[in-house]
């Protein structure tokens, strides 16, 4: 059991260092278990909030928390993030000189560091730091790397078993987003933590909207998608290096800041792209699967799969990289049969071919689903969802069933006429009566069924045939050039008049939009959020710290909603801890106030002031008006200031004394009438509140 004293510290510590007001799902239980010095295995989806599970205990432990992490390149960001929150952390790896190592050792011995990030390869360099006097806890991030069962095996992880024997009484917390059972058992066994409590969090990431579209005209669909989200960061996953480069150049031609990322590029190029992405210098990365592991950038707003992923594990991990901040995010997958065929080809001959193909089959079923997609995903991870999610394309646009018997008959008879020797593309060409080279050469235009399906579009035929395959009315002969073949079921349709149910293909909205609509959406609005984003970007460049480490999108959104105009209110925002209040508070508050000020001067917005003024005339206090209008009292004051300027009857000295007005008058002359309020605020050493400064200036300005 945890001491009551410690327990009472948990929430205040979370707020002070991370700025959050409450724990997410199982974080609290996990933290309590770590602080009770138990071993733990934590399985949480990407973006679920694993880091705090060891970072918060690290603050409270007397000694050092060692964090084993696989990627040297990303340790710096994690450490920067901790430092930005006022937590002393360092990384330790082979890229540093021995002098740097010695400095770190000294700091450790003086208890000046709370967390030390180390790659497994560098553990042996730690020497006599590895004792229980110095180390309070060991966290093993991306713990699935230990298992050759997992999808990301790293040999260097296999030596970690020695940690338990060297530090038998030190709690180990192993963390991963890989859920499968074999991997889990392997981790526990290899780390010798057989008594570890296993925390398996829900894999549901409700904020990610799931969507699957047929892969026709992918590039233009993607450009339209991006143009609707002009400043949002995103990742596009592609199967091949070549595709990442082609796509990147097409995006660039369309004025979109994108870069390619794949294993064929040099280490320097890859690092640069990753950094540019993290620092919001490029908007989009077109990558092979090698990109993204360990990237904690919380404001990735969307992930697109240009090609079908190999399996659901990979897909889920990749889409998990968007929306880590909990705000709305989008995952869009392009489904194509030729991808499935290509992936099957890669898998043929692999040692575990059968397993791989079975996994691909599940991925395919997901892509072709006509029921809630999230239910399918979560059931794959052993989680059952009671209700449909309401946040996937199927839920939003439920498929409509109709009698597709005639359509099925047409397809199957074409397959028969073609002697079951042609793949899906040629079958559709015959149905639609095409006269291209293949058709003419093979004289398919002479077939009786050539052109029996002219009235249906290519895209829809493709959808119908996929549905027929899924229902078993025909099949793909993967080993015979992917030709479409008949099955036992086919005969029932062709000769016994069996009824076939099909669903109408979902119309992709983007296809229907006019160009004008799209360009009009591209212009960014002048919202407070945009202003705060700009300020964040500027701070990011000046301080050489990734923008999302300054504040997350979620935090900026809340600032926009609440509009804090003093430090007390600013600290209330989720994501603002003590350190960030001190370092960034004033700049953000000033930006909010200046935005509010400009909006006040726009006549269009007058209504809101009149409402406030009328309530004031009715005799309500400022607090009462604020409560009634669900606005901050500082906002109410700014309304009254405006009303006063407009000559409305207000006893303004009720809120600011004559003495204070005189002080502000002096400040104004000393400071030579600065345009913003912040210089005044600083002039008074933060002792005169912003609303008083504003009211005093209103009075002074009105005198002239
Ligand atoms: P993971 O390592 O599991 O992929 P992270 O630890 O990077 O996830 O957390 C994902 C995001 O969620 C981060 O931006 C983090 O700051 C945020 N987060 C974590 N815990 C909380 C919480 N209790 N309240 C609000 N946001 C949180
Ligand atoms: Zn759904």
User: Tell me: the pLDDT tens digits for 281-327?
Assistant: 999 999 997 787 667 788 999 999 999 999 998 899 899 999 988 89
Distance 296 CA to ligand 1 centre (A): 9
Q: Which helix (H) or strand (E) holds 331?
A: strand 329-335
Q: Higher pLDDT residue, 518 or 10?
A: 10
> What CATH class does 401-503 carry?
mainly alpha
**Is the pLDDT at 643 greater than 70, yes or no?**
yes
- Whether the CB-CB separation of 2 and 9 falls below 8 Å is answered with no
State how far the alpha carbon of 475 is from the alpha carbons of 339, 407, 485, 589, in Å: 16, 16, 5, 63
503/193 Cα distance (integer angstroms): 51
| 106-128 per-position pLDDT tens digit | 999 999 999 999 999 999 899 88
- Whether the CB-CB separation of 174 and 196 falls below 8 Å is answered with yes
Distance 393 CA to ligand 2 centre (A): 7
Q: Higher pLDDT residue, 18 or 653?
A: 18
Q: With CA atoms as reference, report the closest residue to 109 among 97, 126, 95.
A: 126
**201 CB-near residues (< 8 Å, 6+ apart):** 25, 26, 42, 43, 44, 45, 48
Q: What is the mean pLDDT of residues 32-41?
A: 96
| Residues flanking ligand 1, CB < 6 Å | 20, 23-24, 27, 44, 46-52, 296, 298, 324-325, 552
**Is the pLDDT at 619 greater than 70, yes or no?**
yes
Distance 566 CA to ligand 1 centre (A): 26
| 51-80 per-position pLDDT tens digit | 999 999 999 999 999 999 987 777 888 999
Q: Give yes or no on whether 3-200 and 208-396 have one common fold.
A: yes
Q: Is 667 helix (H, G, I), strand (E, B) or coil?
A: helix
Mean pLDDT value across the chain: 89
Model pTM score? 0.71
Q: What is the mean pLDDT of residues 663-687?
A: 86
Indicate which residue's Cα is closest to atom 20 of ligand 1. 49
Q: At 163, is the pLDDT very low, low, confident or very high (cuts 50, 70, 90)?
A: very high
Give the DSSP letter string of 465-525.
HHHHHHTTSEEEETTTTTEEEE-HHHHHHHHS----EEEPPPPPHHHH--HHHHHHHHSPP
| 171-222 per-position pLDDT tens digit | 999 999 876 778 888 899 999 999 999 999 888 999 999 999 988 889 999 9
Q: What is the mean pLDDT of residues 530-546?
A: 90
Strands 474-477 and 483-486: antiparallel
Q: Higher pLDDT residue, 235 or 384?
A: 235
Indicate which residue's Cα is closest to atom 19 of ligand 1. 49
Q: Which helix (H) or strand (E) holds 617?
A: helix 606-617
Which residue reads 């937590």 in tokens? 87
Indicate which residue's Cα is closest to atom 15 of ligand 1. 49
Strands 233-237 and 284-287: parallel
**Which one of the ligands is nearest to 389 CA?**
2
Indicate which residue's Cα is closest to atom 9 of ligand 1. 49
**Is the pLDDT at 39 greater than 50, yes or no?**
yes
Distance 501 CA to ligand 1 centre (A): 45
Burial class (CB in 10 A: 0-12, 13-18, 19+), 441: exposed
Residues forming beta bridges with residue 486, ordered by sequence position: 474
Indicate which residue's Cα is closest to atom 24 of ligand 1. 20
608/594 Cα distance (integer angstroms): 18
**Is the pLDDT at 509 greater than 70, yes or no?**
no
**Which one of the ligands is nearest to 293 CA?**
1
Strands 197-200 and 258-261: unpaired
Q: Which helix (H) or strand (E) holds 213?
A: strand 208-214
State how far the alpha carbon of 120 is from the alpha carbons of 162, 190, 281, in Å: 11, 14, 31
Q: At 513, is the pLDDT very low, low, confident or very high (cuts 50, 70, 90)?
A: very low
Question: What are the residue ranges spanned by the domains of the chain?
Answer: 3-200, 208-396, 401-503, 528-551+591-703
CB 645: neighbour CB atoms within 10 A? 15
**Which one of the ligands is nearest to 67 CA?**
1
Query: Which atom of ligand 1 is found nearest the CA of 27?
Result: 23
Q: Higher pLDDT residue, 514 or 522?
A: 522
Burial class (CB in 10 A: 0-12, 13-18, 19+), 639: buried
Q: Higher pLDDT residue, 639 or 507?
A: 639
61/55 Cα distance (integer angstroms): 10
| 444-478 per-position pLDDT tens digit | 999 999 999 999 998 899 889 988 987 889 988 87
**Is the pLDDT at 363 greater than 50, yes or no?**
yes
Three state DSSP letters for 390-440: CCEHHHHCCCCEEECHHHHHHHHHHHHHCCCCCCHHHHHHHHCCCCCHHHH
In this prediction, residue 179 carries a pLDDT of 65
In this prediction, residue 383 carries a pLDDT of 84
Q: Which spans in 291-404 are helix H? A: 312-319, 337-347, 353-367, 373-380, 393-396
Domain 208-396 matching CATH 3.40.50.300: the answer reads: yes
- Whether the CB-CB separation of 261 and 286 falls below 8 Å is answered with yes
Q: What is the mean pLDDT of residues 643-648?
A: 84
**Is the pLDDT at 635 greater than 90, yes or no?**
no
Distance 205 CA to ligand 1 centre (A): 12
Q: With CA atoms as reference, report the closest residue to 171 among 193, 199, 146.
A: 193
Distance 67 CA to ligand 1 centre (A): 17
Q: At 507, is the pLDDT very low, low, confident or very high (cuts 50, 70, 90)?
A: low
For residue 702, give both structure tokens.
């009105």
Distance 325 CA to ligand 1 centre (A): 7
Q: Of all residues in the chain, what percent carry a pLDDT higher than 70?
A: 95
The CATH number, out of the four listed (3.40.50.300, 2.60.120.380, 3.90.1150.10, 3.40.50.150), of the domain defined by the range 3-200 = 3.40.50.300
Indicate which residue's Cα is closest to atom 2 of ligand 1. 50
| 576-596 per-position pLDDT tens digit | 999 999 999 999 999 998 888
Q: At 254, is the pLDDT very low, low, confident or very high (cuts 50, 70, 90)?
A: very high
DSSP state, 235? E
Q: Higher pLDDT residue, 507 or 658?
A: 658
Phi, psi (rounded to 5 degrees) for 585: -50, -55
Query: Which atom of ligand 1 is found nearest the CA of 23?
Result: 23
Q: Of all residues in the chain, what percent carry a pLDDT higher than 90?
A: 57
Which residue reads 């992709």 in tokens? 508
**86 CB-near residues (< 8 Å, 6+ apart):** 17, 577, 578, 579
Q: Is 68 helix (H, G, I), strand (E, B) or coil?
A: strand
Which residue reads 């592609």 in tokens? 238
**Is the pLDDT at 498 greater than 60, yes or no?**
yes
336/358 Cα distance (integer angstroms): 17
Q: Is 662 left (phi over 0), alpha (psi -120 to 50) or beta?
A: alpha
End-to-end C-alpha distance for the chain, whole angstroms: 69
Burial class (CB in 10 A: 0-12, 13-18, 19+), 672: exposed
Phi, psi (rounded to 5 degrees) for 354: -60, -45
Q: Which of 205, 324, 552 for a ligand 1 pocket mutation test, highest count of atoms within 8 Å of Cβ?
A: 324
In this prediction, residue 174 carries a pLDDT of 97
For residue 685, give both structure tokens.
């050493």
**Which one of the ligands is nearest to 391 CA?**
2
In this prediction, residue 423 carries a pLDDT of 92
Q: Write down the number of H helices and E strands in the chain.
A: 33, 17
**Is the pLDDT at 664 greater than 70, yes or no?**
yes
In this prediction, residue 82 carries a pLDDT of 96
In this prediction, residue 459 carries a pLDDT of 85
What dihedral do alpha carbons 507, 509, 512, 518 form, nearest 10°? Answer: -170
């Amino acid at each position: 059991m945890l001491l009551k004293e410690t327990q009472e510290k948990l929430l205040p510590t979370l707020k002070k260092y991370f700025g959050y007001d409450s724990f997410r799902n199982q974080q609290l239980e996990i933290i309590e278990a770590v602080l009770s010095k138990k071993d733990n295995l934590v399985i949480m989806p990407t973006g679920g909030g694993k880091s705090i599970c060891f970072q918060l205990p690290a603050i409270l432990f007397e000694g050092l928390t060692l964090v084993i992490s696989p990627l040297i390149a990303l340790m710096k960001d994690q450490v920067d993030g901790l430092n930005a929150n006022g937590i002393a952390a360092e990384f330790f790896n082979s890229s540093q000189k021995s002098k740097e190592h010695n400095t770190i050792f000294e700091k450790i011995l003086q208890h000046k560091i709370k967390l030390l990030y180390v790659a497994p390869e560098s553990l042996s360099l730690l020497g006599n730091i590895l004792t229980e006097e110095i180390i309070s806890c060991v966290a093993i991030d991306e713990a699935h790397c230990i298992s050759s069962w997992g999808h990301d095996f790293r040999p260097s992880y296999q030596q970690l078993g020695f940690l338990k024997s060297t530090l038998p009484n030190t709690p180990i917390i192993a963390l991963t987003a890989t859920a499968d059972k074999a991997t889990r058992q392997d981790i526990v066994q290899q780390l010798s933590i057989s008594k570890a409590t296993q925390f398996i969090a829900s894999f549901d990431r409700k904020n990610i909207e799931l969507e699957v579209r047929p892969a026709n005209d992918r590039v233009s669909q993607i450009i339209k998608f991006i143009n609707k989200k002009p400043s949002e960061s995103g990742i596009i996953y592609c199967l091949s290096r070549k595709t990442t480069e082609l796509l990147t150049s097409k995006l660039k031609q369309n004025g979109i800041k994108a870069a390619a990322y794949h294993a064929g590029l040099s280490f320097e190029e890859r690092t640069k792209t990753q950094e540019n992405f993290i620092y919001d210098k490029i908007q989009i990365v077109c990558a092979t699967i090698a990109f993204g592991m360990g990237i904690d950038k919380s404001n990735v707003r969307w992930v697109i799969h240009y090609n079908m992923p190999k399996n659901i594990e990979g897909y889920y991990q990749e889409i998990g990289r968007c929306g880590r901040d909990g705000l709305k995010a989008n995952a869009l997958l392009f489904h194509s049969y030729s991808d499935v065929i290509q992936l099957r080809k890669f898998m043929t001959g692999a040692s575990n071919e059968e397993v791989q193909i079975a996994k691909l089959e599940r991925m395919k079923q997901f892509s072709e689903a006509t029921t809630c997609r999230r239910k399918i995903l979560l059931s794959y991870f052993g989680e059952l969802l009671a209700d449909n999610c309401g946040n996937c394309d199927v839920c939003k646009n439920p498929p409509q069933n109709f009698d597709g018997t005639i359509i099925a008959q047409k397809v199957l008879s074409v397959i028969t006429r073609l002697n079951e020797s042609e793949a899906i593309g040629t079958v559709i060409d015959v149905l639609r009566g095409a006269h291209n080279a293949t058709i003419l050469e093979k004289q398919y235009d002479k077939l009786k069924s050539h052109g029996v399906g002219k009235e249906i579009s290519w895209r829809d035929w493709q959808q119908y045939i996929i549905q027929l395959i899924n229902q078993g009315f025909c099949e793909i002969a993967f080993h015979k050039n992917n030709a479409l073949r008949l099955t036992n079921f086919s005969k029932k349709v062709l000769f016994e008049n069996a009824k076939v149910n099909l669903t109408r293909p979902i119309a992709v909205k983007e296809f229907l939009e006019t160009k004008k609509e799209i360009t009009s959406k591209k212009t960014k609005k002048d919202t407070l959020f945009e202003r705060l984003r700009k300020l964040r970007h500027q701070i990011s460049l000046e301080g050489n710290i990734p923008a999302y480490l300054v504040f997350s999108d979620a935090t900026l959104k809340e600032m926009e909603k609440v509009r804090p105009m003093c430090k007390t209110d600013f600290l209330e925002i989720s994501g603002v801890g003590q350190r960030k209040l001190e370092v960034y508070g004033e700049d953000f508050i000033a930006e909010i106030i200046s935005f509010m000020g400009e909006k006040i001067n726009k006549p269009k917005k007058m209504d809101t002031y009149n409402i406030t003024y009328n309530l004031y005339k009715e005799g309500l206090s400022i607090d009462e008006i604020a409560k009634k209008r669900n606005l901050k009292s500082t906002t109410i004051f700014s309304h009254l200031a405006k009303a006063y300027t407009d000559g409305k009857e207000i006893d303004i000295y009720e809120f600011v004394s004559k003495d204070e007005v005189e002080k502000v008058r002096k400040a104004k002359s000393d400071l030579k009438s600065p345009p913003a309020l912040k210089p005044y605020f600083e002039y008074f050493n933060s002792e005169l509140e912003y609303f008083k400064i504003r009211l005093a200036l209103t009075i002074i300005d009105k005198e002239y």
